[in-house]
């Protein structure tokens, strides 16, 4: 079974737009857990424009499913938060302060020394590590040399090309996944996966462990309700 981790940043964005505690981030995360998701993903940024650092602390203390914290380890406050809360998984993402959303993966060759140091640090706290990369075989090979447990394939290009040419859109991801399998790396994926493109992706990627989905799932929940939406995504992963 491919695990579904729901990114709840957008719930926090809605809360922060008005102030106060509506919608309640923890309550929604617990509901998502109850509806069958296998994990909760958060991507706190230094400006705390959606998920706050305190949200992460509260979630870690109250969730029964895995907590996945995404962020850039070049930010000292992010590293400190991860070491404090000790999530099930940390996903290293090379985004910049103020960046709207993630838009590329790591160059695991150029950043080898820095990423190796970070992976060793998080691993010493028994936190599973994942590195966000583009579907390029040399970056997969670089990730393996760094010592990470998993890679997360950045899927925006797949989502953009899917309706025009499904076969070509998935091809680099299949190649990257096969190389990861050969090297003993586990595979996650995320960014712009949705109900229209998820089943095809999940069926084609060998040994896919987890998908992290936020924006599309939260948007769908406005139309279908959260419980129904979580189950629609779980069903898409089974097809």
For residue range 6-50, what is the model confidence (pLDDT) as tens digits?
A: 999 999 999 999 999 999 999 999 999 999 999 999 999 988 999
**Mean pLDDT, range 195-206, rounded to an integer:** 98
**Mean pLDDT, range 186-190, rounded to an integer:** 98
Q: Cite the active site residues.
A: 43, 70, 191
C-alpha to C-alpha distance for 114 and 58, rounded to whole angstroms:
30
Here the CATH number for the domain that contains residue 72 is 3.20.20.70
Torsion angle, CA of 69/73/77/83, rounded to 10 degrees? Answer: 60
| DSSP label of 127 | -
State residue 188 phi and psi, 5-degree precision: -115, 170
**Nearest one of 127, 196, 183, 114 to 155, comparing CA atoms:** 196
**Mean pLDDT, range 216-238, rounded to an integer:** 98
Tens digits of per-residue pLDDT, 55-98? 999 999 999 999 999 999 999 999 999 999 999 999 999 976 55
At CA 31, angle to CA 29 and CA 37, rounded to 5?
75
- Domain enclosing residue 66, as ranges: 3-238
Q: How many domains does the chain have?
A: 1
pLDDT of residue 204 exceeding 70: yes
**Nearest one of 113, 106, 91, 168 to 138, comparing CA atoms:** 106
Torsion angle, CA of 226/10/152/172, rounded to 10 degrees? Answer: 90
Whole-number pLDDT of residue 128? 98
């Amino acid at each position: 079974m491919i695990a579904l981790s729901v990114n709840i940043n957008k719930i926090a964005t809605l809360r922060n737009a008005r102030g106060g505690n509506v919608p309640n981030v923890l309550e929604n995360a617990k509901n998502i857990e109850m509806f069958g998701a296998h994990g909760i993903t958060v991507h706190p940024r230094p400006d705390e424009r959606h998920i706050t650092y305190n949200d992460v602390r509260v979630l870690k203390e109250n969730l029964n499913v895995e907590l996945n914290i995404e962020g850039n380890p070049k930010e000292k406050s992010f590293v400190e938060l991860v070491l404090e809360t000790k999530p099930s998984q940390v996903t290293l993402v090379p985004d910049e302060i103020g960046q709207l959303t993630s838009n590329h993966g790591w160059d695991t060759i150029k950043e080898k020394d820095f990423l190796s140091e970070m992976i060793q640090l998080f691993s010493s706290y028994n936190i599973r590590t994942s590195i966000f990369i583009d579907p390029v075989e040399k970056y997969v090979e670089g990730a393996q040399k760094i010592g990470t447990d998993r890679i997360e394939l950045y899927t925006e290009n797949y989502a953009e090309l899917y309706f025009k040419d499904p076969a070509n859109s998935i091809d680099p991801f299949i190649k990257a996944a096969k190389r990861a399998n050969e090297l003993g790396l586990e595979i996650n994926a995320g960014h712009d996966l949705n109900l229209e493109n998820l089943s095809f992706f999940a069926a084609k990627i060998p040994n896919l462990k987890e998908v992290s989905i936020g924006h599309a799932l939260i948007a769908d929940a406005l139309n279908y309700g959260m419980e129904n939406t979580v189950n629609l995504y779980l069903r898409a992963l089974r097809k």
